[in-house]
Amino acid sequence: MTNTNQINQDLVRKLQQIGQAFRLPGLFFSYEEICMGNVNETYKINYIMDDGTGLAHIKPYLAQKINTFAFREPIKVMGNIDAVTEFVRAKRPNGINLHFHHTEVTGERKTYLQDGDNMWRIINYVPSVTFNSCNDLNIVHNAGEAFGDFQMALADFDPSKLYYTIPDFHNTRKRYAQFEADISVDPCGRVASVRPEIDYLLSVKEQACRLTDLLLQGELPLRVTHNDTKINNVLFDAETHQALVVVDLDTVMPGLVGHDFGDAIRFAANFTEEDSQDLERTGVDLNTYWAFADGFLSQTAKTLTQNEIDTLGLSCFALACELATRFLDDYINGDKYFKTRIPRHNLIRAKCQIALAKDMVVKMDAMNSIVQGCASKYRK
């Protein structure tokens, strides 16, 4: 038996064991890894059961291993998710919702299973399609609407009920402070080779941190935000391309509207993918930007303050720089946080975010005008 088979068999056994703990009915028969997300591990697991009429019925679920290096307090993560999903479900009982299965451990119902250092959960599988990149402006518009709608659905959720599962997640100043501290330690001797990238990021530090500063100065309100608004975190109907549900709620925490807008734009409105090495082509596609902004503001414009609207363009730059520092910091530290799939993956990702941030500077006036135009359209 080859090594790979051995690993797969181990995984099969592990997934079966997890399914059993969550009391999934039927027989486990296959799994596939869902290769999205840079932090958690996700598997579609397929069960076969009798549908009651003697016919075989295949029922898929999602099994997810929470990365406990990123999420140090996964029980709090699940607490937030439970609170938020139940809140939305009560408001919209007929909508498509995420359902987290429960284990029964000594009579207690839990939506997670502790397995040594690992933490597992099982989620209902929603038949759907996702997009890592998308040229279809209708789909991008629908994603903007979905993230805007998600935030508005939680507008009356009491933020004090949420844990800060990753403290200072979008505190760009603290991200920079950590980055600079790690540069001076240089634990893997990689700093010398990434000087140009470090120099660029430090040269724009004040502008990149302005959003965080405005929050600390009380100029921008805290809301309940998603905080990880990559377009692949929206599930779409395969035929109509309507958005079905927003997923990956691990980072739902108090945050700024700009964190959600900026993160979505730096991912979806980039001409290239997040880890592209084609830096010539990397940059903001203003058509995609416009489509997302229109969808997002159609849901949020009436609620947002003028300051929030005025800083949406800036938030895109802030999020691109913040993520560039995180990727480069991880590279400097020896790739401990983000999953890497190719050599120097984090460096490649950082370079791509830097190229994107540079292009945003050039296009910032246009980005701001588009936001103002969409906001006034939906405020009437």
Instruction: Determine the longest span between alpha carbons in the chain, in angstroms.
Output: 67
Amino acid (one-letter) located at 258? G
Q: Is residue 228 near ligand GN1 by the rule CB under 6 A? A: yes
Ranges within 184-223 binding ligand GN1 (CB under 6 A): none
Q: Which of 182, 197, 248, 308 binds ligand GN1 (CB under 6 A)?
A: 248
Q: Is residue 350 near ligand GN1 by the rule CB under 6 A? A: no
Torsion (CA) 277, 267, 294, 86 in degrees, nearest 10:
160
- Give dist(CA 208, CA 270) in Å, integer: 18
Residue 312 three-state SS: helix
Among ligand GN1, Mg ion, none, what does residue 308 contact (CB within 5–8 Å per kind)?
Answer: none
The site that binds Mg ion (CB under 5 A) totals a number of residues, namely 2
Closest-CA residue to 125 (of 153, 156, 91, 101)? 101
Q: Nearer Cβ to Mg ion, position 263 or 285?
A: 263
Q: Nearer Cβ to ligand GN1, position 182 or 228?
A: 228
Shortest separation between residue 40's beta carbon and Mg ion, angstroms:
7
Closest-CA residue to 268 (of 280, 255, 250, 286)? 286
Half-sphere exposure at residue 158, Cβ-oriented, CA atoms within 13 angstroms: 2
Q: Is residue 39 near ligand GN1 by the rule CB under 6 A? A: yes
Q: Which stretch binds Mg ion (CB under 5 A): 64-72, 224-232, 267-275, 281-289?
A: 224-232
Q: Is residue 295 near ligand GN1 by the rule CB under 6 A? A: no
Query: What HEC string does 22-73 produce?
Result: CCCCCEEEEEEEECCCCCCEEEEEEEEEECCCCCEEEEEEEEEEECCCCCCC
- Give dist(CA 252, CA 268) in Å, integer: 20
**x/- site string to ligand GN1, residues 19 to 38, per CB under 6 A?**
------------------xx
- Give dist(CA 346, CA 329) in Å, integer: 9
**x/- site string to Mg ion, residues 245 to 274, per CB under 5 A?**
---x--------------------------
Shortest separation between residue 70's beta carbon and Mg ion, angstroms:
9
Q: Which stretch binds Mg ion (CB under 5 A): 90-98, 143-151, 176-184, 226-234?
A: 226-234
Residues in the chain: 380
Q: Which stretch binds ligand GN1 (CB under 6 A): 18-26, 110-118, 197-205, 244-252?
A: 244-252
Site for ligand GN1, rule CB under 6 A: 37-39, 70, 228, 248, 250-251, 274, 323
Site for Mg ion, rule CB under 5 A: 228, 248
